[in-house]
Each structure stands twice: as structure tokens, then as C-alpha cells.
Amino acid sequence: MRPGDILVCATTTPVWAPLFSIAGGVVTETGGALSSLATVARERGIPTVVSVRDATARIRDGQLVTVDGDTGVVSLEARPRRE
């Protein structure tokens, strides 16, 4: 993971906290407003959307992802970027 990348995962635990310091945003398939992830994200100002069904299957590595934590919207570019 590189600084500014969006972390997309099924779930997180407090062990994942070091990744939050470089993440540009986080999308998880589980969790809620009072989860550990949501609390840490708010404290650090990281845009985060939790409980996104099938996020790990629908979001591809390299795909441009925009995470709006205020509205709970995750937007995807149609095709993954090539580097």
C-alpha cells in the first residue's frame, strides 16, 4: 500500500491502524458507525465508508476510487488505471 491509496477490505481490527496513517480512504464490507475503524477514521480525518456489500469483489486493484465519508458514497471509475 502506498500513501494515498484507498484501503478496501472485508473487515479491519485495531492491528490495521498503522495502514490508516497512509490511507487516502477506507472501504470495508463490515462495520458500523461505532466500530473501531470508524472511530479511528474520524479522529484522523480519513474518508471511510463501512458496510459496503461485496466491496472486495467489486473494487479492483488500480481502479480509481473516490470515498465520501460524509455521504457514505463510494464512486468507481469504469476501468482500472494502468501504471
The domains located in the chain, with CATH, are 6-80 (3.50.30.10)
pLDDT score for 75: 94
The predicted pLDDT at position 83 comes to: 56
Per-residue confidence (pLDDT) for residue 38, from 0 to 100: 83
Identity of the amino acid at 23? A
Kindly list the averaged pLDDT for each block of 10 residues, start to end, along the chain of length 83.
93 87 93 84 91 94 91 84 58
Contact 26, 20 (CB under 8 A): yes
